[in-house]
Amino acid sequence: MIIEGIVTSVDSAGRLNVAPMGPVVTGDFASLLLRPFQPSTTFTNLSTTRCGVFHVVDTVDIMAQAAIGRLEQLPAVERADTINGFRLRDCCRWFEFTVDSVDASEARSRMPSTIVHRGETRPFFGFNRARHAVLETAILATRLHLLPRQHVLDMLNFLAPAVEKTGGAEEKCSFAMLQDFILNQIEQ
């Protein structure tokens, strides 16, 4: 199963990077297969340091901003316990991992990883259609080069009502930011 969440990683100078990623997870996080595209910062950092933290989250603002490189400010973090990196303070679950191997033979790399430490911060808030719609829109925003323009517009039209009907101010704001970004990109 693929679980969409947030990976924090650091570069060789210890600088933090925050990016949404969808690793393949088996069981209750018995194993983690990360698949960062080259040349993302996450790919470079994980290849270099061979460790990071995967977070299960239930809010979408950071995911939306980081997906399109518009993180307003780095989220609050604390040092990881067992690896060279940082954990988000606001998340539901966190998993510190080490990267077992890096297969960079294709653009989408494969990094089987071992979870070395895990913890829970707070309970999952609950399913919300607007948050799922924002998540889908964030993924859409990172795949514009692969998708026909009309498909992108159809997706936006499909996703917008869920945000409007079931979202709060934060979800509406994230969706509007992503929609602006997407429309700007595809009109160019």
Ligand X SMILES: Cc1cc2nc3c(=O)[nH]c(=O)nc-3n(C[C@H](O)[C@H](O)[C@H](O)COP(=O)(O)O)c2cc1C
Instruction: Give whichever of 83 and 138 is closer to ligand X, judged by the CB atom.
Output: 138
CB of 24 to ligand X, least distance (A): 9
CB of 26 to ligand X, least distance (A): 16
Residues lying near ligand X in the complex (CB under 6 A): 4, 17, 19-22, 35-37, 40-42, 63, 67, 69, 135, 138-139, 142
Site of tokens 């606001």: 90
Smallest separation (angstroms) from ligand X to the CB of 40 = 4
User: How far is 32 from 99, CA to CA, in rounded Å?
Assistant: 9
Residue placing its CB nearer to ligand X in the complex, 135 or 163: 135
What is the spatial distance between Cα 74 and Cα 124, in angstroms, rounded to a whole number? 22
For residue 106, what is the DSSP state? Answer: S
Token pair in block for residue 141: 């925003």
Cα–Cα separations (whole angstroms), residue 54 to 27, 45, 70, 84: 15, 14, 20, 13
User: Residue 43 or 81: which CB sits closer to ligand X?
Assistant: 43
